[in-house]
Structure 1
């Protein structure tokens, strides 16, 4: 008998509690969303984002997004491409626009780490240019000229990764000090 009373009380408690409404986008996710609200988003062609890097280029705001390994259809080219770096114009945050996707090169997949320097901050740099340093899968680190973010141009591979005794190659996080031009490349 006591067991039935306990079950009945538990059922009444659950019924009285009612439904808990789902959190709305307006409320955010607690303390980490204090004083913020979502104003826009982009699907990035279904590619997982690892490192987004917003950069002011003249009057535009460009987001360079490094992706994990994988591949996806690029509707801009109609081809399935290995994941690399997405270049997104976020000047209007409510309507971000994909400018291009730079696939990984040389059989690599993914380009998780991205750094961008304006050439006028680099020692001996050409005024008005922007350069992207990115990991290229586990194979190398590359420099791209992204002065025209919609049409990046490959400049050079700055480091090829050696092989472990097991024959593997690895890259990891990179960092580029624009004021000194020194790049920290891990591989």
Structure 2
């Protein structure tokens, strides 16, 4: 099922980002009458507002990273391959830093801190079921599960971010998406090298 989800995602994610995710975001509730990003408290020049694609991207990337961090935290304790465990620890640190930047962007855009995708099994998202399975897996099966789930996370978050670069309008969001894609390319290259060594 996970493999089928990943295959479909390569075709659907660009459309989901522009259409489906924006409607999903809208279903979370009405937007406040005034957005913090529109008029700063200092009374200075209004910040450029993001379009629905920018908002959808930020609101998806944050929970994607948060769920991946939860799995990577397990990997620091359970991965049996030393190289894989070390890599997972480094990736968790990178994802934590990425989350800090994404949350700052979300706050500048005046978006709510709530997870508008809670309960949605989006492509590339480490789900609650995935985390439960990881919690019971041991040894080499855990290592293999980790590689599959994190590779899916890295690939799909890069795909979504490429859509943001193409379809988004807010400069700082697009720059953050570009940085994320560059990071993912490096992370995937290292992961593939580890997997090729038997991880």
TM-score normalized by the length of structure 1: 0.21
Q: Name the structure with the higher helix share.
A: 2
Q: Name the structure with the higher strand share.
A: 1
TM-score normalized by the length of structure 2: 0.20
